[in-house]
Amino acid sequence: MKNRNSFTSCLSPRQIMELDACTQCGECLRNCPVQEVTGNPSISPPEKIRIFREFIRATEGVKARLFGAGDIDRTLLEDFTKAVYECTTCGACGQDCSVGIFTQRLWPMLRNEMVRRGLGPLGAQANMPEAVRNTGNPYSRAAAERFAPWRPDIRIAARSDIAYYAGCTGAYEAQPMARGDVLVLDAIGEPFTMLSAEEEVCCGFPLFITGQHDMLGDLVRRLVCAYQGKGIKTLLCSCPCCVNFMTRDWRPFYGGPLPFRVRHITQFVADALGRGRIAVKKELKERVIYHDPCYLSRGVGIIEEPRIVLRSIPGIELLEFSRHGMNSRCCGAGGAARKVFHENAVAIGRLTIDEAVDKKADKLILGCPACYAKVNEAMQGNEKQIRIVDIMELFAAALR
């Protein structure tokens, strides 16, 4: 039974140490996208950590142990909740942190605590568990619409060593991306399988990142068992959020090691290029700039493979953002904050668009369905304009 008064029951000892280790130096503010667009230090990492430490002290500190826990001001709790949900969980602060705090996982767990207290999630995020329960995806869309609008007429094996997971955001919100994925997989020619539209449910990431963990065990087990039934050895996915969650967190929610490995689609394609299973002949005389999704680069260290894929297209000139790879800047869509803090997300997205245009790129290459959806939205009404293309959408077009 969890102590309702305690603020630490959702945290691991490592995370408690991390909270204690923050020196309040503020180095993490320099690359925080939310700071860039709001300039509001009261929602910065050191302030969030300071306030959460106050909560712990008030409930489990020396005074609280001796004389009983004090009441915590409701406004402070609400302000903290807003601050922890306004964050895009991009992890840039962790990258810059003087003491190495793993913020990409600390913030979701602090959100988890706020959910436990009935304070989080915020706005539309609260509808997600219900939507996932009823429809299998956080967008409340019908399973019938999951693959039908975008999946080309290609051969999907009933069983195979390899499976492809499209993911909800790719399937419903960034369809050119999911279409590009399957076209490229088809071109590589190694048989792959997919779950049916009813079986392929949410991977759990949106629930995890918004701190709503109740259904996660069930969801993860359901997917793992379904893939196990197809006899797969490798699960391919292009969505950085899904890949990150599957690689890092599926195991504890599943309750043991996964019976297959998870790989990002660019790893598979880069490998196919290396083995000569696929090659692009068509020349594409274009300057393109690739945006590293936070959950892919900082999250699981996929940095080189997307560049291998892009450089394999003859004639292409690959440009880099000033902040790229491990230091990439969030596109604004992360952490489900885009569902509530829409203006921040658009403003952050425009920073990426503007830099791409300033660097005179012809195309902005994205590799994440959430970025794809949000940056396209940020483009509307923006002074600077650029064509946005998903990496597999571009590669599939080059293969044709």
Partner 1 sequence: MGILLAGGFYFAVLVFLGGGVSRFLILWKTYGLDKAVPVRGAKSSPGTQAKTICKALGDTFFFARLIRTNDVLWPGEWIFHVSFVLVVLRHARFFLAPVPGCIAFLQPAGIIAGYVLPFALIYILVVKLIIEKRYFSTYNFFLLSLIFSASLTGILMRTLLKTDSAAAKVFILGLLGFRLQAAPGGGLFAAHFMLVLALVLYLPSHLFTAPFTLLEARAREEELKRIIHEE
Residues that bind partner 1 (CB under 8 A): 6, 8-9, 11-18, 20-27, 29-30, 41, 44, 46-47, 50, 56, 60-62, 65-66, 96-102, 105, 108-109, 208, 213, 243, 247-249, 251-253, 262-264, 267, 300-302
Q: Which is nearer to partner 1, 60 or 354 (CB)?
A: 60
Token pair, residue 52, equals 């959460």
Which neighbouring-strand residues pair with 290?
320, 365
Token pair, residue 5, equals 């008064």
User: 261 to each of 178, 227, 251, 264, 268, how far by Cα in Å?
Assistant: 20, 11, 11, 10, 12
Q: Which does 344 bind (CB under 5 to 8 A by kind): ligand SF4, partner 1, none?
A: none
Report, in Å, the least distance between residue 224 CB and partner 1. Answer: 14
Q: Which is nearer to ligand SF4, 108 or 129 (CB)?
A: 108
Give Cβ neighbours of residue 39 (< 8 Å, ≥ 6 apart).
none
Q: Residue 129's closest CA among 244, 195, 253, 219?
A: 219
Report, in Å, the least distance between residue 54 CB and ligand SF4. Answer: 15
Q: Which is nearer to partner 1, 256 or 276 (CB)?
A: 256
Q: What is the dihedral of CA 318, 240, 200, 189, to 10 degrees?
A: 30
Report, in Å, the least distance between residue 48 CB and partner 1. Answer: 12
Q: Which does 387 bind (CB under 5 to 8 A by kind): partner 1, ligand SF4, none?
A: none
DSSP-assigned letters across all residues of 149-168: TT--S---BSS-SEEEE--H
Q: Which is nearer to ligand SF4, 333 or 396 (CB)?
A: 333
Q: Which is nearer to partner 1, 47 or 286 (CB)?
A: 47
Q: Which does 89 bind (CB under 5 to 8 A by kind): partner 1, ligand SF4, none?
A: ligand SF4
Give Cβ neighbours of residue 301 (< 8 Å, ≥ 6 apart).
none
Q: Which is nearer to ligand SF4, 88 or 210 (CB)?
A: 88
**Residues at the contact surface with ligand SF4, assessed by CB under 6 A:** 22-28, 32-34, 45-46, 49, 87-93, 96-99, 101, 103, 107, 330
User: 354 to each of 222, 281, 306, 322, 346, how far by Cα in Å?
Assistant: 42, 31, 22, 12, 12
